[in-house]
């Protein structure tokens, strides 16, 4: 079975969700007539078929997947920001989508055995963590989610996470205080690490760069390993444009080399990264 295919997928549903923070999101389900491996942390490059404005496909993390008899359905959650995601928001059931996937590496789940897994999600970054949470639960690894956003409506996938992990394992924080603690999600996250100092833990995080940077500092401080799922502008998603560079520590005159987020990542160990 090939890992990466370029194919047409069909829209099954595309539900728009508005948040009081004035941000909007969409949840898109695509059906593929073929089955390919879909791993937690991986992503696809998608855009409405036949549309060339914008030109480039957009990288979207797999949120969830389901196997049919011969088909595969994959869900994405996208935040409606610029031209690409505005085009995605116009998709209707039955429309065709250019789909290139599966792309990228996966979270290193083996490292979580006999550890408590702490997931940290910021905004739409939670989308990249749901399949990971499902896999951790399947492996019977105690899992907690710290999820943050501007307001209640920006905690993407909150309901699904609560059903999966139970509400006492989901700690929320919002900037407007409309749900959970008021402020950055990294605050309750840091408190938790403090209270469990010395216990075996592993961190998995996805969200905006400033949040990831803070998570990586906290991980360092408590000497807890952390895997971060990164974003970067991508033209191709499969390793040929070298647009998605991220600086990774290495023995070189400048102390780092550039790796590709699309094929070397998107998941990196936080201590590999040259911030």
Partner 1 sequence: MNNNPQSAIRNPQSDLLSVEIAGIRFNNPVLTASGTCGYGLDMAELIDLNKLGGVCTKGLSTRPLGGNAPWRIVETHGGMLNAIGLQNIGARAFVEEKLPELRRYDTRIIPNVFGYTVEEYIEAIEILEDGEGIDGYELNISCPNVKAGGESFANDARQAAEVTAAVKRAARRPVIVKLSPNVTDIAVIARSVEDAGADALSLINTAVGMSIDINTRRPRLANVTGGLSGPAIKPIAVRCVFQAFRAVKIPLMGIGGIATVEDALEFIIAGALAIQVGTANFYDPSASMKIIDGLADYCRRNGLENIGALVGTVELNH
Ligand X SMILES: Cc1cc2nc3c(=O)[nH]c(=O)nc-3n(C[C@H](O)[C@H](O)[C@H](O)COP(=O)(O)OP(=O)(O)OC[C@H]3O[C@@H](n4cnc5c(N)ncnc54)[C@H](O)[C@@H]3O)c2cc1C
* Residues at the contact surface with ligand FES, assessed by CB under 6 A: 234-237, 239-244, 260, 262
Interface with partner 1 includes 54 (CB under 8 A)? yes
Interface with ligand X includes 85 (CB under 6 A)? yes
First to last CA, the chain: 37
Contact present, 155 and 24 (Cβ < 8 Å): no
Q: What Cα–Cα distance (Å) separates residue 55 from each residue in 92, 234, 260? A: 20, 12, 21
Helices 209-221, 186-195: inter-axial angle, 10-degree rounding: 10
Work out how close the CB of 84 gets to partner 1 at its nearest, in angstroms, rounded to a whole number: 8
- Looking at the Cβ atoms of 103 and 117, the one nearer to ligand FES is 103
* DSSP SS3 for 161: helix
> 256-275: which residues touch partner 1 (CB under 8 A)?
257-258
Adjacent-strand bridge partners of 25: 17, 79
Q: Measure CA 191 to chain center.
A: 23
- Looking at the Cβ atoms of 135 and 264, the one nearer to ligand FES is 264
Identify the residue among 8, 16, 93, 242 touching partner 1 (CB under 8 A).
242
DSSP single-letter state for residue 67: E
Segment contacting partner 1 (CB under 8 A): 49-57, 63-71, 87-95, 112-120? 49-57
- Looking at the Cβ atoms of 105 and 169, the one nearer to ligand X is 105
**What phi, psi does 187 have (nearest 5°)?**
-70, -60
> 24-83: which residues touch ligand X (CB under 6 A)?
43, 54, 56, 58-61, 76-79, 81-83
Work out how close the CB of 50 gets to partner 1 at its nearest, in angstroms, rounded to a whole number: 11
Residue showing tokens 């696809």? 44
- Residue 60 interacts with which of ligand FES, ligand X, partner 1, none, CB < 5 to 8 Å by class: ligand X
By rule CB under 8 A, what count of residues binds partner 1? 33
- Looking at the Cβ atoms of 104 and 188, the one nearer to ligand X is 104
Adjacent-strand bridge partners of 43: 61, 103
Q: State the Cα–Cα distance between residues 202 and 195, nearest whole angstrom.
A: 15
Residue showing tokens 């998603």? 237
Which residues neighbour 180 within 8 Å (Cβ) at sequence distance 6 or greater?
171, 172, 173, 174, 188
Work out how close the CB of 78 gets to partner 1 at its nearest, in angstroms, rounded to a whole number: 16
- Residue 121 interacts with which of partner 1, ligand FES, ligand X, none, CB < 5 to 8 Å by class: none
CB atoms within 10 A of CB 8: 13
Q: Measure CA 37 to chain center.
A: 17
Which residues of this protein are in contact with partner 1, per CB under 8 A? 2-4, 6, 47, 52-57, 83, 98, 100, 232-236, 238-247, 252, 254, 257-258
Which residues of this protein are in contact with ligand X, per CB under 6 A? 43, 54, 56, 58-61, 76-79, 81-85, 124, 127-128, 231-234, 266
């Amino acid at each position: 079975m090939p890992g990466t295919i370029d194919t047409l997928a069909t829209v099954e549903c595309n539900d728009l969700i508005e948040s009081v923070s004035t941000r909007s999101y969409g949840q898109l389900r695509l059906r593929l007539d073929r089955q390919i491996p879909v791993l937690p942390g991986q992503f696809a490059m998608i855009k409405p078929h036949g549309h060339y404005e914008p030109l480039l496909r957009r990288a979207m993390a797999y949120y969830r997947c389901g196997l049919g008899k011969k088909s595969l359905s994959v869900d994405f959650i996208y935040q409606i920001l610029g031209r690409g995601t505005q085009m995605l928001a116009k998709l209707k059931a039955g429309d065709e989508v250019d789909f290139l996937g599966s792309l990228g590496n996966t979270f290193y789940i083996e490292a979580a055995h006999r550890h408590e897994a702490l997931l940290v999600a910021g905004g739409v970054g939670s989308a990249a963590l749901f399949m990971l949470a499902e896999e951790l639960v399947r492996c019977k690894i105690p899992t907690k989610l710290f999820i943050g956003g501007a307001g209640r409506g920006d905690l993407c996938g909150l309901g699904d996470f609560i059903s999966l992990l139970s509400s006492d394992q989901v700690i929320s924080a919002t900037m407007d205080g409309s749900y959970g603690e008021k402020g950055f999600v990294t605050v309750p996250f840091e408190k938790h690490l403090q209270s469990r100092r010395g216990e075996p833990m592993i961190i998995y995080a996805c969200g905006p760069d400033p949040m990831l940077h803070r998570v990586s500092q906290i991980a360092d401080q408590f000497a807890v390993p952390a895997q971060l799922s990164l974003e970067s502008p991508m033209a191709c998603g499969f390793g040929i444009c070298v647009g998605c560079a991220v600086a990774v520590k290495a023995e070189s005159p400048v102390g780092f080399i550039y790796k590709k987020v699309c094929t070397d990542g998107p998941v990196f160990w936080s201590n590999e990264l040259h911030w």
